[in-house]
Structure 1
């Protein structure tokens, strides 16, 4: 069965990071050993424990020095899962 409506977690990520970000993450699903969208949702949960949704959305879609000036969304699409997880933890620690 094909779904064209987002699941609840995906809808939340769309509301926070935007539809373009989620489409970028979906595009990498078949090429990588982990699901970029799933990792993005895990990272979002970490961020939500410390910052509001607006700050989390800005972080996910803004270039980060720790990620070679890529956005976390781009880095996840490229398969840099651990780097994004580490960068999120470092950012939370610096902003908590």
Structure 2
């Protein structure tokens, strides 16, 4: 399933540093990050994940950036979505 995470970032430098570090590490089995779409000022972002369930993404994201961002998780409606990875 595809999951979007909408980040409201309170500490951009900490968030982006932690995110870069996490992306350099292997992802958990079955979890893939397909896209990161930050705002120009770094205070908001939308990320597109693929995972077996929403909880797998939530656990990873919260452990990396949960202290410096409010994160909203949404399962993507794949039938009506446009541009999902093939």
Q: Same fold (TM over 0.5)?
A: no
Structure having the higher helix fraction is: 1
Name the TM tier (shorter chain): 0.3 to 0.5
- Greater relative CO, 1 or 2 (CA 8 Å, sep 6+): 2
Structure having the higher strand fraction is: 2
Q: TM-score, normalised by structure 1?
A: 0.32
